[in-house]
Structure 1
Amino acid sequence: MTTLALAGLGWAMRAVWQIRLATAGEPASGLPDQGEGNHRPLTSLEDSYHLVSSASGFAAAVCAIAFLVWMGRVRHNGRELSGARPRYAGLWVYLGWVVPVVNFWFPRGIIADAYRSSAPGEPLPLSLNVWWGMWLISMLTGVGLTYADSTDEIIARAYTDVWQLLASDAAVIAAAVAGIFLVRAVTAVQERRMN
């Protein structure tokens, strides 16, 4: 849960810096990447955005590792509690995030399966669908956690289309918050069942 909170905080800091960039406006010297391999020196605000972006990226990477470990554990616990074979093979805990098309439902399915195995007959927690919906929105916008733009390109977008960046940041932050509630709900039901 701590890593989810740190990742959400990191993305909130990115949003703050993007707003600062948008309100400061593009410098008279133009964008950082001036094309044909030419880059101008960064302003102090742009340079600090690079630092914030790197720190939030690191927090997200640590969060991703911790979340994968947690997913593996709840899948295993669900199998132990129910005695039934999980719907998804263990390899999908990791591959389910990166294999195209299946990455739109396998991660959610793995957690839902673990919850159902741990608490038969109980409805899935609302946080599961909120978390997954926000994750998909951030993924599909192309500017969330999975964007392909460089930091300088993100800075350029902050000067012109900051609303797109902020919408995606909001989805990532909402996914992190819902993820905290999800981890608590699934972990609590498994601990209750084990006791």
Structure 2
Amino acid sequence: MPPLPPPNGPATLRSPVGLGKATAALLGLVIATDLFALWADYVLYDVAGGIRNALAGGGSLDALTQRADRADALDAAAGIAQVAALVATVVVYLIWFLRVRVNAEVFNPFGHTYSRTWAGWGWFVPFVNLVRPRRIMAEIWDASRPAGDPARQGIVGVWWAFWILRWAVDRLAASSTSKAETADAIQDAALQALFADALDIVSAALAIVVVVRLTRMQDRKAQAGPVASDG
């Protein structure tokens, strides 16, 4: 019998190393902006606490006005830095993700549940983006393991768990920040933002691990030649 055609169309093996390094570097930039945001969150939390104490003690707010203005400016700058780093990272990450997905089709054309298109759109469709990218990543991981490599996909599950947790906490923090009007509410919102940024650091660090390990696996499997294929 003639071989079955690839279900996702022709696939060409291309090195993911350059894109992997760029993606990991940009994820490192995300961590750097999150560290900046942590500092801004703490400054805002501290200033809001000072305002609350001054109001409770009947003190003057004049000394806190300039600190509050600086805290607001610092928080705004951190937000801009985070968005800029995130946008750049998302673009490069998606290109890398599609590259490793196509490579995985070369290694195992029949080991993928969803079409190649979902490697991109799966991140943006509401509710679908809570489960499908993780499934696609797991299938890429399995297809990319060189023969005899015991590498498990446990790190993929841990990374995805922190991704979902970060996503949920970030939305709660954003909601609290938009509604905060009193000193107490601002302090609570700053504390939630601090927690969300800390989770984002962990999530980005785990993403770096996944990107680096998967990139190395594909590079080793490609260099090993056809004998490393599972199909």
Q: Which band: TM-score by shorter chain?
A: 0.7 to 0.9
Partner residue in 2 for 1:47: 73
Report deviation, 1:166: 2.0
After the TM superposition, which of the residue ranges 89-98 and 128-137 deviates more from structure 2? 89-98
Partner residue in 2 for 1:113: 139
Q: In structure 1, what is the Cα distance between the partners aligned to 2:136 and 2:120? A: 11
Q: Secondary structure at the match of 1:162?
A: helix
Q: Write the deviation string for residues 81-115 of structure 1: whole angstroms up to 9, x where unpaired.
A: 22336322122122212212211111111111111
Q: Secondary structure at the match of 1:141?
A: helix
User: What is the percentage of aligned positions where both structures have the same residue?
Assistant: 23
User: Residues 152 and 15 of structure 1: is their aligned pair in 2 closer, same or farther, counting only changes over 3 Å?
Assistant: farther
Amino acid at match of 1:93: A
Amino acid at match of 2:37: R
Partner residue in 2 for 1:124: 152
| 1:8/1:176 contact within 8 Å kept | yes
Q: How many residues align structurally? A: 184
Report deviation, 1:12: 1.9
RMSD: 3.0
User: Residues 80 and 58 of structure 1: is their aligned pair in 2 closer, same or farther, counting only changes over 3 Å?
Assistant: same
Q: Which runs of 5+ in 2 are unaligned?
A: 1-23, 56-65, 224-231
Q: Write the deviation string for residues 156-194 of structure 1: whole angstroms up to 9, x where unpaired.
A: 755233332222212211110001100011011100100
1:181 has 2:224 as partner:
no
Amino acid at match of 1:194: A
Amino acid at match of 2:124: V
Partner residue in 1 for 2:221: 193
Give me the TM-score of the superposition, normalised by structure 2: 0.69
Partner residue in 1 for 2:42: 19
| 1:112/1:124 contact within 8 Å kept | no
Partner residue in 2 for 1:135: 163
| 1:118/1:193 contact within 8 Å kept | yes
Amino acid at match of 2:75: Y
Q: Secondary structure at the match of 2:171?
A: coil
Q: In structure 2, what is the Cα distance between the partners aligned to 1:151 and 1:4? A: 27
Q: Which structure features the higher share of helix residues?
A: 2
Q: In structure 1, what is the Cα distance between the partners aligned to 2:179 and 2:27? A: 26
User: Residues 78 and 52 of structure 1: is their aligned pair in 2 closer, same or farther, counting only changes over 3 Å?
Assistant: same
Report deviation, 1:151: 7.4
Q: In structure 2, what is the Cα distance between the partners aligned to 1:147 and 1:82? A: 42
Report deviation, 1:137: 0.3
Q: Secondary structure at the match of 1:193?
A: helix
User: Residues 81 and 142 of structure 1: is their aligned pair in 2 closer, same or farther, counting only changes over 3 Å?
Assistant: same
User: Residues 150 and 58 of structure 1: is their aligned pair in 2 closer, same or farther, counting only changes over 3 Å?
Assistant: farther
Q: In structure 1, what is the Cα distance between the partners aligned to 2:116 and 2:186? A: 40
Report deviation, 1:61: 1.0
1:10 has 2:33 as partner:
yes
Q: In structure 1, what is the Cα distance between the partners aligned to 2:27 and 2:88? A: 9
Q: In structure 1, what is the Cα distance between the partners aligned to 2:100 and 2:160? A: 17
Partner residue in 2 for 1:37: none
